[in-house]
Amino acid sequence: MGAWTQLFPPSPHFTEAQTPSLAGKVFIITGGNSGVGFELAKILYFKGGRVYVAGRSATKIATAIEDIKAEAASMPSATAGQLQSLIIDLGNLSSIAPCVADFLAKESRLDVLFNNAGLSRQPPGSVTTQGHEIHMGTNCLGPYLLTKLLLPILTKTAASALENSVRVVFTSSGIIDMAGPPGGVSFAELEPGKHSDDMNRNYSGSKAGNWFLASEFDRRYAKEGIVAVVQNPGTLRTPGWNGTPWIMRALMAPIFQPPKMGAYTELWAGLSPDIKSGDGQKFIIPWGRWNTTPKKEHLASLKSKKEGGTGLAEEFFDYCEAQTKEFAA
């Protein structure tokens, strides 16, 4: 399946109608106060889940929670769960351990971590608090560390949960099929002072990195009962396009879909019974399907050198560990 079917996908087949009661389940959604994350939070909350909306702004999170509760009050069919806030800045590694500590002080289980938040189209030269290229730092290093620190509670939950139900969902993009470094990620371009001047190349590298992380977490922690997958939510009308030139937005307007459609992609990735351990090397496309024709260079990156691949995903996972380990305490 090429770019065409990702731009014009068939109707979703896993929506609120197929979602069972989520009473007793606990979820974290990074970026849950806007866009796709906000729509996903509504679905999970309306089905009785306990949802942690994670983001940088306490004010924006509080407003989102108020809006969701107000909508639930007007829906007789909704079986409302609970909504909680978590403060995290994925572009500042120092904020992640305190966020996890806050969550662990309140919860004894975590069923699904949705690494939904991310940024795109940031000007060349932009960096995170720790000086990493801003797309790679925010979209990969932050989610890597968050996932790592939540592994103990995910493992604990998996010990008593249904098989394959405890998951980590990473967020990629269809741009990896159209732009980006060979194989998906260029380590040379991650070095300080050597970042690419092409914002799309930087963004694509981070989105390929998300697939690599999903594949490696899925492979490395399968024995703990954790499933990790990656998904492209779709071409959506979200704030991420706000900085795009108006002419591009005008050209893209006919294929933009509302954020709720992207939420259906993430919903399938997080809850569908069709997903199992070992699916981390696959790629989910809108609105909840497998990409049956991924690029061969990406598949080679996912395989170790012993398996006949390039080992790029394994190397990238280790890179993320090295860059974040001092912030894990």
CB 32 within 8 A of CB 270: no
Task: Give the Cα separation of 117 and 132 in Å (integer).
Answer: 17
Q: Which residues contact 251 (CB under 8 A, 6 or more apart)?
A: none
User: Which of 25, 207, 260, 295 is the catalytic position?
Assistant: 207
Please indicate whether residue 203 is annotated as part of the active site. yes
User: Which of 203, 221, 264, 319 is the catalytic position?
Assistant: 203
| CA distances, 131 to each of 95, 135, 176, 246 (Å) | 15, 11, 24, 30
CA 12 to chain centre: 19
Please indicate whether residue 207 is annotated as part of the active site. yes
Task: Give the Cα separation of 307 and 311 in Å (integer).
Answer: 9
- How many other C-beta atoms are found inside a 10 Å radius of the C-beta of residue 18? 15
- How many other C-beta atoms are found inside a 10 Å radius of the C-beta of residue 222? 16
In eight-state DSSP terms, residue 34 is S
Neighbour-count burial of 249, counting CB atoms closer than 10 A to its CB (0-12 exposed, 13-18 middle, 19+ buried): middle
Task: Give the Cα separation of 50 and 260 in Å (integer).
Answer: 19
CB 211 within 8 A of CB 298: yes
Q: Give the residue numbers marked as catalytic.
A: 203, 207
